[in-house]
Every structure is written in structure tokens, then in C-alpha cells.
Amino acid sequence: YQAKQAQTQVAVYDPAQDINSLERLETIQRLRKTIQEGRFLIQYQPILNIAERYINKWEALVRWEHPTRGLLRPAEFVPLAEESGLIGELDLAVLKQAVQDQKRLGGELTINFSAVTLAHPNWVREVVRALVDEALQPSLLWLEITESALLPERQKWLGGLVALRGLGVRVALDDFGMGYSSLAHLKQVPVDLIKIDKSFVAEIGLSQTSEDILRAMLQLASAFGLKTLAEGVENRTQLEWLARHGCHYAQGYYIGLPVAVEQAVEAAFTKAY
Ligand code: C2E
Ligand code: MG
Ligand code: MG
Ligand code: MG
């Protein structure tokens, strides 16, 4: 019996595991350095005001130019930043850079904040400092939080969010409809806009049931006095359907790709809708 147990313990040791955790540590170190040196990149994606047919907002989307793996999307490093406690610094650094870039972009700016960032002790003060330093009108700033962020430990950050909103900062609920939807959330958290997840938009023109759900979401939002934005708009059919059903804003590859600040400024004024 003892021999068997010893054998089991040997079998549990997996050298690949050590290599993985070493790689992980190295990636965390690199990410930390990239954040500290301000070397992450931000792409801006235009948001169309549907009824008025103009671009009036930009979403900041972070990217990481990794030395060996190329340009990384957030899905490849945001989870690691969340687990390693770097996300608060990253989100706040993106905010500061974007607030500076707003001078060239014009219009409103919308920034993604992880649930973990909301638990960061200084986050409200840092947001206010960024606004003051760059003299940005608070009503030009939107913070995007996901529905999953609304669930745990709301009491820790709700006061801060309410205070920022009192200054004029606005709040968007990102990826609406993905899993955690509850009418109760919309009543408990100050939200100005819901961003309907692209999985619903993708079904426009393809599924009657999905269109019914989408229509219900738009009606629900207006019953709550909220603005609506559709994510992942990829074609004219989708945009026209959304316009017909009173959706306020559209974002997606059909409107414009996420691009660096220089191209964002050019692109915004050369396309007609
Ligand atoms: P999100 O906030 O829902 O952002 C929209 C995502 O959809 C972006 O992916 C965007 O590039 C992509 N997208 C835009 N238009 C279309 C379209 O027409 N079709 C399709 N299929 N996709 C489209 P991206 O840039 O890879 O970002 C993924 C997620 O990473 C974001 O989802 C957001 O939750 C998160 N993220 C981005 N930047 C930050 C950041 O600075 N901080 C934090 N905490 N999260 C971030
Ligand atoms: Mg977002
Ligand atoms: Mg989104
Ligand atoms: Mg989404």
C-alpha cells in the first residue's frame, strides 16, 4: 500500500506544470513592466449615434504588443492581469491615456473597467484626477462595467460610482444579455446605457425569436429610461433594423474598426451613414 502511495505522489509531479508557472510568472513581469512604462497600445472604435447619423463616442480597447507573440487582444492578457492584481493599474492607465487622446478624437470617451478595478481602493480618486489633470468635462466620460461586476461586493464600490455619476460621469452596462441579466440589477446600480451584446445583433435577419428578444430588450431599456447601444454591427441590414426599432447607438465593424488614435480621427470624418 505504501509503495503504491509513493508511486502516486511521483506521478502527480508534472514538470510541464513548472514550466507553465514559470512562463506565467514571466508574462506577469512583462505585463507589469509594460504597464509601468506606458507601452500598452489603445485602439479606438467609433460609436454611431443612429438617429443623428454621426460619430460622437469612442470606445478605448487595450492591446499589448508582446515581444514574441505579436499584438495581443485583451482576451489574451486581461484575465491574467485580473488574477495577478495588475488590472486596476492597467485600467487606470488606459483611462489616463484615453483622456489625453480625447483632445484629438473629440466627442465622448468610453472605457472598460474590470470588476476587480472597482475594488481598487483609489479608483474613484484616480478617475477624478485624470479628469482634472486633462480638464476633461466629466460628462464626456463613460465607464463600461459588465453585468457580472454587479453581483459581488457591490457595497464596496457603489458609493464611488454614485459619486462619480454625481459629477457627470456616465455608466454603461457592457455585454448586456449575457448570463447575469436581471431587472433587479438595473434598479440597484446607476446605469445610463446598456450595450447589447453582439451575439444578439448577429441574429438580426436570421432568427425571429432573437429579433423578438432584442425588441423586448430595447423596450425594457426605454421603460427604465436607459439609452441603448448595439455591439457588433457588421452590416447594413442590422443597422437598418436597429434604426427602425429605436436603438440609439451602433458600434461594430460596419461602422468602423478599432484603430490607433491617428487613423481614428481620419476615419470618423470620411464615412457617410
Ligand atoms: P467589449 O467591451 O464588449 O468590446 C467589444 C469587443 O468586440 C472588442 O474586442 C471589439 O474589437 C470587438 N468588436 C467590435 N466590433 C465588432 C464587430 O462588428 N464584430 C465582432 N465580432 N467583434 C467586434 P476586443 O478589443 O478584443 O476586446 C475584448 C474585450 O476586452 C472587451 O469587450 C472588453 O470587455 C475587454 N477590454 C478591452 N479593453 C479593456 C481595458 O482597457 N480594460 C479592461 N478591463 N477590459 C478591456
Ligand atoms: Mg466595452
Ligand atoms: Mg461590450
Ligand atoms: Mg461584448
ipTM of the complex: 0.98
Which residues keep their CB under 5 angstroms from ion ligand 4? Answer: 175
Contacts 24+ apart (CB under 8 A), 259-266: 259/43, 259/44, 259/45, 260/41, 260/42, 260/43, 260/44, 261/42, 261/44, 261/101, 261/104, 261/105, 264/43, 264/44, 264/46, 264/58, 264/105, 265/104, 265/105
Binning pLDDT at 50, 70 and 90, where does residue 151 land?
low
pTM for this prediction: 0.92
Binning pLDDT at 50, 70 and 90, where does residue 120 land?
confident
Binning pLDDT at 50, 70 and 90, where does residue 234 land?
very high
Examine the pLDDT at 85 and tell me if it is beyond 80. Answer: yes
Ligand 1 contacts (CB < 6 A) are 45, 61-62, 73-75, 78, 87, 91, 94, 112, 114, 144, 174-175, 198, 231-234, 252-253, 258
- Which atom of ligand 1 is least distant from the CA of 94? 41
The arithmetic mean of pLDDT across residues 172-193, rounded, is 78
- Which atom of ligand 1 is least distant from the CA of 73? 26
The arithmetic mean of pLDDT across residues 179-188, rounded, is 65
Q: Residue 101 burial by CB count (10 A; 0-12/13-18/19+): exposed, middle or buried?
A: buried
CA–centroid distance, 242 to ligand 4, in Å, is 17
CA–centroid distance, 207 to ligand 2, in Å, is 25
- Which atom of ligand 1 is least distant from the CA of 81? 44
